[in-house]
Structures are given as structure tokens and as C-alpha cells.
Structure 1
Amino acid sequence: MAFIQPALDRIPEPYRSTVIQHRELLKFAVVGGITWFIDTGVVYALKLTVLGDKPLTARLLGVLIATIASYILNREWSFRTRGGRQRHHEAALFFAISALGMGVTLLPQAVSLYVFDIRVPHVGPVTQAVANFITGQILGVLLAMVFRFWAFRRFVFPEDKLEAELHSI
């Protein structure tokens, strides 16, 4: 992308090498930020319209739409230098790991709603909304992001064997 090199040129040298060394993680984080906004937009659009009384269903649909965008962005940008798998196999692994990631995303909010009963009528609507945001949009997304970064690098977008051998030299 044309804006990457000018941005790198502005970073002072002691930090530039660290940024370059962790470029996949940074790109993955940018993709995560973009898909977080997609997820959040879908979730709240649904909760404020047709799924007001079904926050987990809204969350599931938001995560699903964001996951599709995530595959495209990660394949074409974050992990574009990795390979070794056929696209259909790669996509199947990506969506299987993302399904596990959806479970990780949903878990903190489900615990908040159904274990701690932080839901209407036990608490007020504002308290439930704040708890849903913290447990779903922040805690759940962060936990799932750590899991997915590890799993995508390990299973979905592995380094080519030749590239891995060159790194070990």
C-alpha cells in the first residue's frame, strides 16, 4: 500500500526496526480495528432496530459479518506473504478457527448475562448495555483477537517451508 512507506519513514530509527519486525501483528491489529467497527456497527444497528431483546443474536451476526471482512483483509494484506495452502483449505481453516473465536467472543458476555444475571429485569437497561459493551465489545473481542492471531499464523497462514528455512539461517 502506498501510504505504508511514508508512514514508516516518519518513525524514528530505534522504533522503525521494531515496527518492521512486528509488521504482521500491526497489520493484524489494524484489520482487527476495522472489523471491530464493522462488528460494533452491525451489533448496535440490529440491537437498536430489530433485535433489541436478543443481544447475543445481534452479537453473533456482527461477528459473522466482521469475520468475512477479516478473512479478505487478512488474506490480502496482513498475511499476504505467507502461503503454502490451497485457498479453499485456507478459507475452511480460517472460518473454523473464526468459529472458535466467535465462541471466545461470546463467552464473557454470556457469563455476564446468564451467570451473573447482569440483564433486565435484574438490573436496569443502562447497566445491561454497559456490561454488554464491556464484556462483548472489549473483553470478548480482545480475548478472541489474541487467540485468532496465534491460530491464524500457526494453522491458516503458515510460513512457506522455504521461507521458514531462510529465517532459521
Structure 2
Amino acid sequence: MRELLKRHRELLRFAVVGGISFVITMSVDYGLKFTVLRTHPVTALILGVLVATIFSYVANREWSFRTRGGRERAHEAALFFLFSGVALGLNALPQWFSRYVLDLQVPRLSPVGVEVADFVSGIVIGTLLGTAFRWWAFKKWVFPDEDARLAVVAEDPDIQDRKAA
């Protein structure tokens, strides 16, 4: 079991960051949707995902993919936010489809029915689509080289001097 966890450490860390990001997304989404953005539920979801994405960049770079790299930090950040923007669209698409194509909103549904449809389409299906895309894109494009940051640490004499002290 320990070997399995060690082998999939990156994925497990990515999942933890994703879980925390999920809580951030839901908190912002429902906080806005039930207050200032009552008539704009997709906008509330997008803002929730945006706040969570900022957290996600820092946590993924410094923890989930801490040994991966291969790009200048500005290029890496630009790619991270570009792919996160695509994932944001994937995240919002099911709720948009549910609300505006299937017309799953009041008066066709009760307010509780609308919330269930929003939760299933936006939070469950949208999050699964966005997460699968992020995992693939981050490993393939944003943090492409395994152990790239370990190599930089090993070659940096200032870091080696601090370790020795």
C-alpha cells in the first residue's frame, strides 16, 4: 500500500488541492448565488472557480508538482492560467447547458429542483470535466519535466551552502 501511495503521490496531492479548491469554489459560488448574483448563477460559478484557481496555482506549483518544472516561472504561470481558463469553460458548460438549453430553471422547476440541477451539472459534472482536463494539461504542458526543480536545487551552490549550514 505504501508503495502505491508513493507512486501516485503527485496525483494524491493534486486531489487534495482539488478538494480544497472545490470547497473554495462552492463557498464563493453559493455565497454569491444566494446574495448579490441571484439572477446570474453561471457568473457566480465562474467567480468561484476563478478564486479557487488562484489558490490552486500556488498549491499545485509548491506542493503537488513541486519537483516538476521545465519552464520559466512567467511562462509556467501563463500556461497554468490559460489551461485553467479552458477548464473553467469546461466547468461552466454543463451548468450553462442545463440552465439555458434544457431550461432547467424556474418556472419549469421548483427552486429546490433548480439547485439540484445546478449542483449536478455545475458542481459535479463540471468539476469532473475541469479536473480531468487540468490533470492532463498540467502534467503535459505546465509542469512537463519530472524532477526539473530537483535538478535546479542540486546545481544551486547557494542552496547547497544553506543545506550544509
TM category, shorter: 0.7 to 0.9
Partner of 2:98: 112
Superposition TM-score, scaled by structure 2 size:
0.87
Partner of 1:143: 129
Partner of 2:12: 26
- In percent, how many aligned pairs have the same letter? 54
Q: 2:70–2:148: 8 Å Cα contact kept in structure 1? A: no
Question: Tell me, what secondary structure is at the counterpart of 1:85?
Answer: coil
How far apart are residue 122 of structure 1 and its match?
Answer: 1.7
**1:99 counterpart = 2:85:** yes
Structure 2: distance between partners of 1:157 and 1:58 = 29
Query: Is there any run of 5+ residues in structure 2 with no aligned partner, and where?
Result: 150-165
Structure 2: distance between partners of 1:115 and 1:105 = 16
Q: Output the amino acid matched with 1:53.
A: T
Structure 2: distance between partners of 1:101 and 1:162 = 25
Residue from 44, 54, 64 that aligns with 1:78:
64
**CA RMSD of superposed structures (Å):** 1.4
CA spacing shift, 1:162–1:81, aligned 2, 3 Å = closer
Partner of 2:156: none
Query: Is there any run of 5+ residues in structure 1 with no aligned partner, and where?
Result: 1-14, 164-169
Residue from 89, 114, 123 that aligns with 2:75:
89
Flag as ranges the 4+ runs of structure 1 deviating above 4 A.
160-163
What number of residue pairs does the alignment pair up?
Answer: 149
